[in-house]
Chains A and B, each alone.
Chain A
Amino acid sequence: MARAISKKNKIINSLIAWTIGLIIFFPILWIIILSFKTEGDAIRSPIAVIFSNWTFENYFVVQDRSDYFKHFYNSVFIAFGSTFLGILIAVPASWSMAFVPSKRTRGILLWMLSTKMLPAVGVLYPIYILFIALGILDSRVGLVVVLMLMNLPIIVWMLYTYFREIPEEILEASRIDGAGLREEILFVLTPMALPGIASTVLLNIILAWNEAFWTLNLTAAKAAPLTAFIASYSSPEGLFYAKLSAASVMAIAPILIMGWFSQKQLVRGLTFGAVK
């Protein structure tokens, strides 16, 4: 509903929007600043912090002392692994529900959604002892499986809403031209579905990267991703603001960048297509 407005109003709007925007963004901006300060400077008053010297030291210290890249690798493995596996399982399922709907499709979709509503803490102990029994406690593979299952309903739903937007006439035309099911999926459907699949992938990497219930409860030293690594700063020794800032910036930067690209898909994905 953007309409033409006077220049004066535009100036006022800009001022208000930028002020509020900066306030909301400030905590992130602040840790970016702190991450380039020494520990001693990082706890000084805000003005003293800004005018103190800048340093890259923290980024090296975090890597040296706590092997940051091991945790980074775990996060990448878990986020990408669970998303890839989820897509592999969800694409055929969503395809079949979008293009060959039956009486049960609606029920199945809603039931899948309902599994997403199950509070994780309600099944914490069963999953915990199943992981011990299977020998996958504190393993990356175990987390890939759990996060895949957790996000599978969202993946199926998102893909379903994207697939439904593909006009059926095109598929029918290809069938008349003699395309089999395999050709239809490979050469007609996939190219048209790629943008939708790409944004589904993006959103699910973000969700898996930031997941902090199962990653905290099912990992220890070996498979801990960045969420759990950062949590180890909750009982620190000595000064740690600058190091925590550096570790935090490195943990959120990749996802912040991905997130900016997926703003629009975020709404669709998180509301299960109810708001587009």
Chain B
Amino acid sequence: MMMPNAARTLAAVETASIRVAVAGNPNSGKSTLINSLAGTRLHVGNWPGVTVEKKEATLDHRGRSIALIDLPGTYSLSPYTEEEIIARDFLVHDRPDVIVDVVDATNLERNLYLTVQLLELGIPVVVALNIYDEAEKKGYKIDVRAMEIALGVKVVPTVATRKTGMGDLLEAVTGATAKGSRNVPRSLNYGEDIEAAVQKLTADVARRHPALAEKYPERWLALKLVEGDHHVLAEANLSDADSLAKDAVGHLKEAHGEDLESLMADARYSLAAGLTREVLKRPAVKTTELTEKIDRVVLNRFLGIPIFLAAMWLVFKLTFDMSKPFVDWLDGTINGPFTRWVETLMGFLHGPEWLVSLVTKGVIGGVGFVLVFVPVIFAMMFFITFLEGSGYMARAAFVMDRAMHSMGLHGKSFIPMLLGFGCNVPAIYATRTLENPRDKALTALLIPLMSCGARLPVYVLFTGAFFSAQAGMVLWSLYVMGIVLAVLVGVLFKRTLFRGESPVFIMELPPYRMPSGRSLAIHTWEKGKHFLVKAGTYILSVSVLVWFLLNLPWGVENKKDSFLGKAGSAIAPVFAPLGFGNWEASSSLIAGVIAKEIVVGTMGEIYVKEIEKKPEGPAPTFFEDLREIGTSFAASGKEAFSNVFSTFGIASLKAEEKEGRATLRSVIGKTFTPLSGYAFMVFVLLYMPCVVTAVAFRHEFGTWKWFGVAFVYQTVLAWSAAFVIYQGGKLLGFGG
């Protein structure tokens, strides 16, 4: 197998670079194929619709630069969805040198429907017969040579996840652009009637509109005119479209009725079906596959939602149990040795007192307290990546789709909402896959109710302080609350602001796959990295600004009298009925508007005095600190491992309290009660979207209007929900 940067030979170089469009059905493995070819880390997932925009990667092969353009997955080149329009516009107007058509070998007939349309573009095509290993496992025998003859293009079996066939594919791509290449896509025959119309239209357009014949592939344009493709007709601006169509397709309409688009679709399906029959031999006896067996249970009408909820609970329990020891380790390291080192260094440099305070209490107190929770975020992203890669996320969307449809909601909307569990920002951008602008706006409005990773630090802090024995269950309850409220708010909006019918949503369910370790590692890192970037950018900025706001007017003794303290005190009465009417909580919520994890960072800065605890006796030396960090890290790893298998997997919280070290968690434990702590978590879950999400709203919709709606309804909802929980809990005797 030849790898991308294989030895360069003296092969004839036609042009310095080749532009390759990678097209194919959703979930056929386009992004994985590009990642395998170019070593990039484009986001992939075992569910349809991961790529909603063009993405590009480049590599060198045989001295030529190859630019791979990852097009959104589409089933056809009709102009009905955003993905189809993006893919089609690129292919027609940008005219890549080669199209790599990624075909799912386990689902040949459906994939060939797109192949038929790609061949019409008159651009050299190379078919990557991907997921070939699974097709073989199913007992499929694909006659690759017969397929090449039938299509007139090179067909290369590939397994992108294992990088199999990548060298052959690159050879085929460079070969397709070489002089004298035999890669000439065959013009598939649509039958006598349609072909006659196409021929007439081709000749008429060439004669009457030569400029158009230059702009579009002539056969493709003729086929689109036969179909009456409104997008092409509008774009081409044909003054005599009616007479052209009348001349050429009049007899077709008479023979087949008005709907020529359906006629063409039928013809293409027939071609795809015929091709499949020619080249594919299926095993005589169809065995029940593992995917079908699992789906019988997972998608069961009655078991589907309980299984989804149980899977979520398991994810939260494992996340909490696995990450907790590392959270404690980081907490101890950042607030212990690391702070000591920085203080010593600042003392050595004779930095002014205020600067030492800014660095140790502002930056370490703010950014440090957020960084402490990075293990939780990485653990959560690992499990989300696993669910995406395994194919279960698509089932979750399917299961929820049924529930949402029964309440008049658009089922496809749940896909961007699921993305929102990682981060609300890309989820807002993912709404562009929805065709209907109203559904798009409605979905975007509901996305902030999906609990993103940024809220995890707040949950983990409060759950650790009050509910350590039921941590998984409490986290689960918050996520489920977000989903349930999203459904209820969705129903309310659908009946008020967004009246109208939801279009039918057909969702493809990919087969279950075990994600590879490499893929899990890469995508967990890509998702988790975001939080490290945030810590180094806006969490750092806000921590610095919060420190100044807590120390202005300059020299203020009591933080309550600072600018931030006064602002917090001013709005604190609003939160009094919710159980957290103190200035500390209010100030943290104000700062958390920038990003929700800043709530924790601000609390770290506010409570830094209470958390501080000077070691008794001489401070440990630098090397003693290093040894302690290493030893405690190893102990954390051991504890995390045993926690996964332990029913009572969160003993580390208690151990810390036994040591008597004052931590942010123990301070929170004294400031809040379990009931007010839970109400606070619910408020953080629901209150206005963070500023970054607000910016995403503005960029995606070109207006602040929808963010304004989200701001108002979420603030009202957050206050009401926290009020009901706190006051209701008190009435039920759960204490204040």
Task: Indicate whether A and B interact.
Answer: no
Residues in chain A within 8 A of chain B (CB atoms):
none
